[in-house]
């Protein structure tokens, strides 16, 4: 059938470059590997030329795929599944790039793009290590390229192409028409997920994937060291490890900022499995960076550095498997769905798990044994998935044994008064923290592999915090004191003299915070509160001691202060987390008695959500708040609600504009996006938890009730009492015009919640004309109408309308986050420290190489 209006050329171009990328990366892998193995200089040069040309073709292919996919998305070519699935015509231009990384295929492409960029820096700077390192980089590129080709081998699809046509992927009656595109174009695409329509989602994924891609570089250096049986790589890897730790940490915290500004769980970190999966490689990488420094300065910890750098990239691959296999679909708010590539994702992980073990062996016989075990383990895992755990764990054990056997080490034990000893202890503590986090995060995988169901605890956040807070204390403390120790050995008098003043200052500051800072977090008992205060001390100690070390130890030389600055940033992050989390205060306790929703298990607590009726000022503790208005923004399709805050202490008021956006992608209802008022020392953070349902009509009518003064009548959620009847009273809301008379009922409404309201329905008398004036209690959905005075002159007919639909209202949750800016500023300082350290180490390395020449 000839279809009308299809644009087939972009897809054909995209498919061509996807295949070219696969072939070019494979040729580059082989050529770089041959160049690394070749001893003859001429042959080595020829292989390197072929490898670089192939890698250039790989780079051109990735850029061409990137450009082609952007063309398809930006021009709304909905005949392509990727454009139809992830974009629509109404999407703002700035979010078109976000459509790339919403889907798995686009995020793989982004990952591959960063490998190309990093690869050219390696070709430019790695010198004699180029061939070995680029062998690994090119093979990783080949592995990623297989994810994007979307071709079939013996009825098994390899990869998922972003250039497939919608009609080839879906079976629907519309595709029986040659003119099917007209209907699809009129209907539009499914659009970008509502949660991703935020500016952080434009910049956070590229930075995060650069961090993921950069972990490959220290891994590749370590792998090249195993291949070449040469341990000099460790000097080259240090600047790269600093860069990777800095950029990956920045990417993770950008995700935290997105969660803070876009998600409605009221914070920036929830120990979500996807958050954890990105955090754990960063932890092991930081541990490896410190053991790398140990080896550079003292010769210790070479084996450990090998292990940490290798496992960091493997954990990136493991996080890829977790987030893309669908296994976290029920436990994470932002995991990818299963694209049917689980076996391929597993092989991607498993190959890189076993390759370092194979090359760590020196003897050919041992290498062959490892390969046989690898093949056998995967065959067994096909039939018994639980064996996968044994396979991966066994590979790490074997790798550790081979590293201990073949990698040299210094036999002499370190002094307990040496910097390397305590840096090593700190690295092990960080590694232990990573193991605990990844084990807890992997429970869904364990459940699937062993066929059992380990239910998560009711308080997941506490499960992580009760362990990690002690890790934070130990790491913060070691970060402070270790700087004052020298490598190999330190005179006790020297150490005590230099560390005394920072210790005293830190104790004083932390005691002031603990005593006067209002930190009385007792939700989990006195023991946990004590741990918070310990961690606060270690955070302050890290800041003060490292700032002091820049002055005392480095004499103010900022160019070599990268590590200390990073430590200061870490202390600030830790302090910001501790204070903002432990003093996080709910401001929106319900004072109206109106619960707009019922609490579900694990959901919002109605008592912590205040219901505001339009135009009605409401008491909210420290503030009087008023829901003023709402409006729809035609550009971003979000409905904004203006809420005015007036401090009771006479301070300057402000307005917040939390919003909701209609859910798509099969979701129901609306997604709430918070808004915050930022002060130097705190944030006032608010989001909507309930808004009226659109289009719900009020069908209630006035029901006549007879009342005498003092009578009590009941309604659905309370009772009402007629307190008094007066003629032309003063002090009511009704104005009396000249010549008019006003008869007013004073009715007290008592809600079941205990809230009290007064209402004044009236009759206006003007000569022979009468007019009923209704009055309402919006909070209870009640409207009263003065009907008439009955003949006995003591009984009054009152019309009562009990509305089933509340008037225009919002239900709001409001938090106060003290000192949260300490956290965000700490992230910037820590990133700057990593980059400064990278520059300093790179300059040192360059100078040493020039001296050798």
The pLDDT value recorded for residue 580 is 92
Residue 782, token pair as written in the block: 């009640």
- Token representation of residue 50: 């072929």
Residues 6+ apart with CB under 8 A from 665: 190, 191, 193, 194
pLDDT at residue 695 in the model: 59
Question: Per the structure block, which two tokens stand in for 625?
Answer: 């708040």
What is the band of 420 on the pLDDT scale with cuts at 50, 70, 90? very high
Residue 363 has pLDDT above 70, yes or no: yes
Strands (E), 790-845: 796-802, 809-818
Q: φ and ψ at 686, to 5 degrees? A: -135, 145
Contact of 114 with 214, CB cutoff 8 Å: yes
**Sorting pLDDT into bands at 50, 70 and 90, what band is 309?**
very high
Q: For residue range 655-670, list pLDDT tens digits in order.
A: 999 999 887 766 667 8
The token pair at 259 is 């969660």
Helix 200-214 vs helix 273-298: crossing angle, to nearest 10: 40
- Tell me how far CA of residue 8 lies from CA of 68, 74, 160, 161, 182, in angstroms: 12, 16, 18, 14, 16
Q: What is the overall mean pLDDT for the chain?
A: 88
With a pLDDT cut of 90, the percent of the chain lying above it is 51
Closest alpha carbon to 223 in 354, 50, 331:
354
Element (H, E) at 666: none
pLDDT in tens, 226-236: 999 999 999 89
Q: What is the pLDDT of residues 695-741, one digit of tens each?
A: 566 677 888 999 999 999 998 888 999 999 988 887 666 677 777 78
Q: Which of 244, 268, 379, 394 is nearest to 316 (CA)?
A: 244
Q: What pLDDT score was predicted for residue 444?
A: 74
Q: DSSP per residue over 500-567, as a string? A: HHHHHHHHHHHHHHHHHS-----TT-HHHHHHHHHHHHHHHHHHHHHHHHHHHTSTT-GGG-HHHHHH
Q: Distance (Å, rounded) from C-alpha 605 to C-alpha 321? A: 35
DSSP 78: T
- Cβ atoms within 10 Å, residue 100: 24
Dihedral pair phi/psi, residue 304, rounded to 5°: -65, -40
Lowest average pLDDT, out of 119-133, 143-157, 238-252, 274-288, goes to 143-157
Tokens of 611: 């219901």
Residues in CB range of 254: below 8 A, 6 or more apart: 200, 203, 204, 207, 208
Higher pLDDT, 454 or 688: 688
Maximum distance among all Cα pairs of the chain, rounded to whole angstroms: 120
Give one DSSP letter per residue of 83-144, joined into a string: HHHH--TTS-GGGTTHHHHHSHHHHHHHHHHHHHHHHHHHHHH-GGGHHHHHHHHHHHHHHH
In which band, very low, low, confident or very high, does the pLDDT at 69 lie, cut at 50, 70 and 90?
very high
CA-to-CA distance for 543 and 351, rounded, in angstroms?
A: 42
Q: Which residues neighbour 721 within 8 Å (Cβ) at sequence distance 6 or greater?
A: 710, 711, 712, 747, 748, 750
Res 618: pLDDT: 85
Q: Helix, strand or coil for residue 596? A: coil
Residue 676 phi/psi, 5° resolution?
-145, 145
Tokens of 308: 């940490």
> Could you write out the DSSP letters of every residue in 749-789?
EEETTS-EEEE--EEEEETTEEEEE-EEEGGGTEEEEEEEE
Tokens of 521: 């977090």
Alpha carbon distance 539, 476 (integer Å): 6
Q: Over 90: is that where the pLDDT of 180 sits?
A: no
Token couple for 761: 């329905």
Please state, in angstroms and as integers, the Cα–Cα distance from residue 248 to each residue in 85, 108, 252, 281, 499, following that order.
Answer: 29, 17, 6, 9, 32
Distance, in Å, from the CA atom of 292 to the CA atom of 285, rounded to the nearest integer, reads: 10
- Nearest residue to 537 via CA among 479, 490, 493, 494: 479
**Domains of the chain by residue range:** 1-197, 610-684, 703-731+738-805
C-alpha 752/C-alpha 767 separation (Å) is 42
Instruction: Look at 150-164, 204-218, 251-265 and tell me which has the smallest mean pLDDT.
Output: 150-164
392 vs 755, higher pLDDT: 392
Average pLDDT over residues 806-820: 87
Is the overall model pTM greater than 0.85, yes or no? Answer: yes
Contacts of 397 (CB under 8 A, 6+ apart): none
Residue 241 has pLDDT above 90, yes or no: yes
With a pLDDT cut of 70, the percent of the chain lying above it is: 92
Please write the tens of the pLDDT for every residue from 591-628.
665 555 555 555 567 788 888 888 888 888 889 999 99
CA nearest neighbour of 311 among 285, 289, 347: 285
3-state class (DSSP) for residue 352: helix
**Position 178 pLDDT exceeds 60:** yes
Number of residues assigned to the chain: 853
Residue 164: CB atoms within 10 A of its CB come to 17
Beta-carbon contacts of 186 under 8 Å, excluding residues fewer than 6 positions away, are none
SS3 484: helix
- 598 CB-contact burial (10 Å; exposed 0-12 / middle 13-18 / buried 19+): exposed
Cα–Cα distances (Å) from 566 to 162, 480, 552, in that order, read: 40, 12, 17
Scan for tokens 């330190």, then name that residue.
Answer: 490
Whether residue 316 has pLDDT greater than 90: yes
CA 655 to chain centre: 27
At 643, phi and psi to the nearest 5? -125, 120
- Give the pLDDT score at 455: 63
pLDDT in tens, 561-586: 999 999 999 999 999 999 999 999 99
Give the angle 343-344-345 at the CA atoms, nearest 5°.
90
Lowest-confidence region among 111-115, 149-153, 445-449, 787-791: 445-449
DSSP class of 172: -
Identify the pLDDT of residue 453: 66
Q: Which of 156-160, 487-491, 509-513, 845-849 has the highest mean pLDDT?
A: 509-513
> What end-to-end distance do the CA atoms of the chain give, in Å?
69
pLDDT for the residue 327: 60
Whole-number Å distance between alpha carbons of 135 and 144: 14
Q: What was the pLDDT predicted at 470? A: 94
Region of residue 412 (left: phi > 0; alpha: psi -120 to 50; beta: else): beta
Given a cut of 70, is residue 694 above it in pLDDT?
Answer: no
Average pLDDT value for residue range 163-169:
91
Both structure tokens of 731: 């002090």
- Give the pLDDT of residue 617: 86
- Write the pLDDT tens digit of every residue in 531-544: 999 999 999 999 99
Cross-strand pairs, 642: 629
- Contact 112/209 with Cβ under 8 angstroms? no
Per-residue DSSP letter, 680:
S
Supply the Cα-derived Rg of the chain in whole angstroms.
33
CB 203 within 8 A of CB 254: yes
Residue with tokens 């003859």: 40
> Residue 788: pLDDT band by 50, 70, 90 thresholds?
confident
Query: What pLDDT, on a 0 to 100 scale, did the predictor assign at position 685?
Result: 93
How many other CB atoms sit within 10 Å of the CB of residue 203?
A: 15
Residue 338 has pLDDT above 60, yes or no: no
Give, in order, the Cα–Cα distances in Å from 751 to each of 10, 524, 748: 65, 34, 10
DSSP letters of 396-457? HHHHHHHHHHHS----SPPPTTSHHHHHHHHHHHHHHHHHHHHHHHTHHHHHHHHT---PPP
Exposed e or buried b for every residue in 473-483, given b needs 16+ CB within 10 A? Answer: bbbbbbbbbbb
Task: Report, as an integer, the average pLDDT of 116-121.
Answer: 97
Question: What pLDDT is stored for residue 717 in this prediction?
Answer: 81
Q: Is 328 helix (H, G, I), strand (E, B) or coil?
A: coil
Q: Which residue has the tokens 């680029």?
A: 134
pLDDT of the residue at 667: 64
Which has more confidence, 350 or 324?
A: 350
**Over residues 56-61, mean pLDDT:** 97
Torsion angle in degrees (nearest 10) through CA of 455, 457, 461, 462: -150
């Amino acid at each position: 059938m000839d279809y009308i209006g299809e644009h087939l050329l972009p897809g054909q171009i995209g498919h061509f470059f996807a295949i070219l990328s696969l072939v070019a990366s494979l040729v580059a892998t082989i050529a770089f590997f041959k160049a690394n193995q070749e001893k003859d200089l001429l042959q080595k040069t020829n292989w390197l030329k072929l490898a670089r040309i192939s890698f250039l073709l790989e780079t051109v292919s990735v850029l061409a795929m990137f450009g082609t996919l952007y063309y398809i998305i930006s021009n709304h070519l909905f005949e392509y599944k990727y454009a139809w699935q992830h974009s629509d015509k109404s999407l703002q231009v700035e979010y078109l790039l976000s459509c790339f990384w919403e889907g798995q295929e686009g995020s793989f492409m982004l990952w591959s793009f960063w490998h190309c960029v990093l690869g050219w820096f390696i070709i430019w700077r790695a010198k004699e290590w180029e061939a070995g390192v680029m062998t690994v980089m090119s093979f990783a590129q080949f592995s990623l390229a297989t994810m994007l080709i979307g071709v079939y081998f013996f009825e098994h699809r390899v990869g998922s192409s972003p250039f497939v046509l919608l009609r080839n992927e879906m079976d629907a009656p519309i595709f029986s028409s040659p003119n099917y595109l007209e209907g699809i174009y009129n209907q539009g695409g499914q659009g970008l997920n509502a949660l991703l329509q935020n500016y952080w989602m434009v910049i956070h994924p590229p930075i995060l994937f650069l961090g993921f891609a950069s972990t490959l570089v220290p891994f590749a250096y370590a792998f090249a060291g195993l291949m070449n049986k040469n341990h000099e790589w460790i000097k080259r890897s240090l600047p790269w490890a600093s860069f990777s730790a800095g950029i990956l940490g920045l990417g993770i915290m950008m995700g935290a900022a997105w969660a803070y500004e876009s998600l409605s769980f009221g914070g920036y970190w929830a120990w979500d499995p996807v958050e954890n999966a990105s955090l754990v490689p960063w932890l092991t990488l930081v541990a490896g960076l410190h053991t790398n420094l140990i080896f550079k300065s003292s010769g210790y910890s070479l084996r450990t550095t090998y292990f940490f750098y290798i496992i960091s990239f493997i954990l990136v691959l493991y996080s890829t498997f977790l987030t893309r296999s669908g296994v976290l679909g029920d436990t994470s708010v932002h995991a990818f769905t299963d694209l049917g590539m689980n076996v391929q994702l597993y092989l991607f992980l498993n190959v890189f798990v076993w390759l370092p073990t194979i090359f760590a062996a020196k003897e050919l016989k041992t290498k062959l044994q490892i390969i046989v075990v690898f093949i056998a383990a995967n065959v067994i895992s096909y039939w018994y998935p639980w064996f996968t755990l044994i396979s991966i764990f066994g590979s790490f054990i074997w790798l550790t044994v081979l590293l201990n056997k073949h990698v040299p080490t210094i036999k002499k034990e370190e002094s307990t008064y040496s910097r390397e000893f305590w840096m090593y202890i700190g690295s092990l503590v960080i590694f232990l923290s990573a193991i605990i986090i990844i084990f807890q995060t992997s429970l869904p995988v364990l459940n699937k592999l062993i066929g059992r169901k380990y239910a998560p605890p009711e308080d997941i956040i506490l499960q992580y915090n009760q362990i990690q807070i002690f890790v934070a204390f130990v790491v913060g403390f070691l970060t402070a004191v270790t700087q004052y120790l020298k490598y190999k050995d330190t005179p006790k008098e020297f150490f005590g003299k230099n560390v005394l003043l920072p210790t005293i200052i830190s104790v004083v500051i932390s005691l002031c915070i603990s005593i006067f800072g209002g930190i009385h977090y007792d939700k989990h008992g006195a023991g946990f509160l004590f741990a918070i205060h310990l961690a606060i001390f270690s955070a302050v100690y890290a800041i003060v001691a490292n700032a002091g070390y820049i002055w005392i130890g480095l004499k103010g030389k900022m160019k070599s202060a990268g590590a200390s600055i990073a430590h200061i940033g870490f202390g600030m992050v830790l302090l910001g987390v501790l204070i903002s989390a432990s003093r996080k205060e709910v401001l929106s306790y319900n004072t109206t008695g109106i619960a707009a929703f019922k609490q579900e298990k694990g959901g919002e607590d109605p008592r912590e959500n205040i219901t505001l009726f339009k135009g009605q000022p409401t008491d909210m503790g420290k503030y009087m708040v008023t829901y003023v208005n709402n409006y729809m923004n035609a550009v971003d399709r979000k409905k904004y609600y203006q809420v005015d805050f007036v401090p009771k202490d006479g301070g300057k008021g402000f307005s917040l504009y939390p919003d909701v956006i209609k859910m798509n992608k099969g979701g129901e209802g609306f997604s709430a996006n918070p808004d915050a008022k930022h002060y130097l020392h705190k944030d006032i953070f608010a989001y909507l938890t309930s808004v009226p349902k659109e289009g719900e009509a009020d069908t209630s009518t006035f029901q006549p009730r007879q009342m005498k003064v003092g009578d009590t009548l009941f309604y659905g959620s309370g009772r009402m009492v007629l307190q008094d009847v007066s003629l032309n009273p003063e002090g009511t809301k009704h104005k009396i015009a000249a010549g008019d008379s006003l008869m007013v009922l004073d009715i007290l409404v008592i809600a079941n919640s205990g809230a009290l309201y007064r209402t004044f329905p009236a009759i206006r008398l003007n000569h022979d004309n009468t007019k009923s004036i209704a009055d309402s209690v919006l909070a209870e959905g009640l409207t009263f109408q003065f009907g008439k005075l009955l003949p006995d002159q003591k009984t009054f007919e009152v019309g009562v309308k009990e509305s089933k639909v509340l008037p225009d209202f919002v239900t709001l949750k409001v938090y106060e986050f003290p000192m949260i800016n300490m956290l965000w500023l700490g992230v910037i300082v820590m990133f700057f420290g990593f980059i400064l350290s990278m520059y300093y180490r790179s300059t040192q390395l360059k100078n040493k190489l020039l001296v050798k020449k």
